[in-house]
Structure 1
Amino acid sequence: MTRIEPWSALTGPELATIAARDPVALLPVAAIEQHGPHLPLATDVTIGEGIVTAAIEQLERNAEPLDLLILPTLAVGASLEHTSFAGTLSLPAEQAIAQIRAVGAGVAAAGVRRLVLFNSHGGNKAVLDLAALQLRAECGLFVVKASYFRFTPPPGALAADELAHGLHGGALETSMMLHLAPDAVRREALADHPSLGAKRARAGAKLGPEGDAGFAWMAEDLHPAGVTGNAAAADAGTGACLVETFAGRLAEIVTEAAGFDIAALGM
């Protein structure tokens, strides 16, 4: 039986009853930050929660035995790279780590032993790595780290160059926003914003902003508008396909987290 509940809607005794069934808790982690002139500041929140909602629908259709608790989204993350632009809200990395640790400690205190951190903002990657390790060491939690932008997209959904270099506000994010929140997209402002990384790659350079050896960057380093990628190439159909594919992978991760033999880890 699949039972999925929002953490914040439960009473304390109800949560204790669910905790005794060894559920998985899912914590969405996002950001409030600039996404250029065409996307709202809450883009990462909208995309993250949209993928979670689609994953829940897939899990309910699959009807596998599962208890899942959905924690409230941590909307403000570590967004130092975007702080030169108006509207960005950013926690210092240490505070972002402490925020996740505090929520994780509350999860553990409630008797829940499995936690999936689901991330929709690139700047949170290092934060999640450190917070997850600390929660494992300090609270004995089994913690899974998952970022949707590391999931394999559907074949042919986007050009390889766009996938490699459209890191922020490009066709990928804009397509998903056209599917999830079309009225929030400023269509008149859709444009191509070529990244410094793409220019370097075309010139044969091996060192870029991402990859096996990347340099630290502020958003304006890659493009003056703080956006990288071709938002003008985005469309809602591609966005729907991306959301469903990423949601399917998240559903698989949650299912595997629920069935993981944590006794093998000494837990």
Structure 2
Amino acid sequence: MLNRYEGYAWNDRFLPRLTTNQIKELPKEDALVILPIGAVEQHGTHLPVYTDTLLAETVLTETFQYLPEHLNIWLLPALPYSKSNEHAMWSGTISLSFTTLQGIIMDIAKSIKQSGFKRLIIFNTHGGNNDLLKMMMREIRLETGMSVFYIFIGALPIDTALFNDVEIKYGIHGGALETSMVMASRPDWVRTEYVSKDISEQIVHSKYLKYQQGNFAWTIDDISTNGICGDARDASAEKGRIIYQQHSKLIAEILLEMAEFEFYHINKEGVQP
């Protein structure tokens, strides 16, 4: 596994490594800028509060290994703070308000536009940001005219050979998936003596209320006694390495399509290429 600031992503495609003149001279028509957004929030007693941001940095580090070098894609520093108030009652959680995060993301987008870029990807690794970030895509589009795309790592498919069906569906926070990934990237950050299980049986057995559908409001204290939702006991570094490889290859394919996507112009006569 590559570490932060190692590999092609950081050596060749980390936008802040360039000088202002270098950025000014970059071709902008086909450039794609990635804004990773993570979180600093509790992940139980076994994972670091930096988990979501670490996952964003690591998976994108791996993803760039699968991208053609000629592709004009650039990486911004991860935004580590986001909307984490569902975990606010736990030590170490640092949360931005809904309106503050809106303003920060819009200001970043306007700055990217001011530098001449026309395509922005919001790359999110924290489920609590989902609704806000999806709304912000359209707001940025309207405000700046940029093409705006969204990738949420939690929506990517998980190999059913790695975890059971309950864990894949309901292990949404500090469970086997996230624990495996941190074990693969920063094993020294995992307190393995504290790995545990906590899954809300009430939600597992509900017919209509599902995390994936986002059709009910909850805080972590509503669904967990120890700050996690999942079975971290089923985690391993090997599973984490497999997940990183599978997700990175898929994200690279998604980025390729986003880099080439253009809207057709619509007029009264119909669609014109």
**TM-score, structure 2 length as denominator?**
0.89
Contact 2:197 2:232 in 1 (8 A): yes
Find out whether 1:247 has 2:248 as its counterpart: yes
Contact 1:97 1:130 in 2 (8 A): no
Deviation, 1:264, is: 4.2
Q: How far apart in 1 are the matches of 2:58 and 2:203?
A: 34
SS in 1 for 2:154: helix
Once superposed, which parts of structure 1, at least 4 consecutive aligned residues long, lie more than 6 Å away?
Answer: none
- Counterpart of 1:58 in structure 2 is 66
Number of corresponding residues? 258
Contact 2:29 2:118 in 1 (8 A): no
- Counterpart of 1:12 in structure 2 is 20
CA deviation string 1:34-92 (max 9, x = no partner): 00000001000111110000001111xxx264111111110000001000111100000
User: For residues 67 and 231 of structure 1, do their structure 2 counterparts lie closer, same or farther at Cα, with a shift above 3 Å needed?
Assistant: same
Find out whether 1:201 has 2:209 as its counterpart: no
Deviation, 1:214, is: 2.4
Contact 1:171 1:231 in 2 (8 A): yes
- Calculate percent identity across the aligned residue pairs: 30
Aligned-pair Cα RMSD in Å: 1.9
Structure 1 counterpart of 2:243, one-letter code = L
- Counterpart of 1:32 in structure 2 is 40
Pick from 85, 93, 100 the counterpart of residue 98 of structure 2.
93
User: For residues 199 and 263 of structure 1, do their structure 2 counterparts lie closer, same or farther at Cα, with a shift above 3 Å needed?
Assistant: same
Q: How far apart in 1 are the matches of 2:74 and 2:30?
A: 11
Q: How does 1:96-115 map to 2 (within 5 A)?
A: 96-115=101-120
- Counterpart of 2:55 in structure 1 is 47
- Counterpart of 2:176 in structure 1 is 171
Q: How far apart in 2 are the matches of 1:95 and 1:259?
A: 32
Deviation, 1:14, is: 0.8
SS in 1 for 2:72: strand
SS in 1 for 2:57: helix
Task: Give the unaligned 5+ runs of structure 1.
Answer: none
Which range moved further: 67-76 or 244-253? Answer: 244-253
Which range moved further: 11-20 or 67-76? Answer: 11-20
Structure 2 counterpart of 1:124, one-letter code = N
Find out whether 1:74 has 2:79 as its counterpart: yes
Deviation, 1:226, is: 1.6
Task: Give the unaligned 5+ runs of structure 2.
Answer: 1-7, 268-273
SS in 2 for 1:41: coil
**TM-score, structure 1 length as denominator?**
0.91
SS in 2 for 1:27: strand
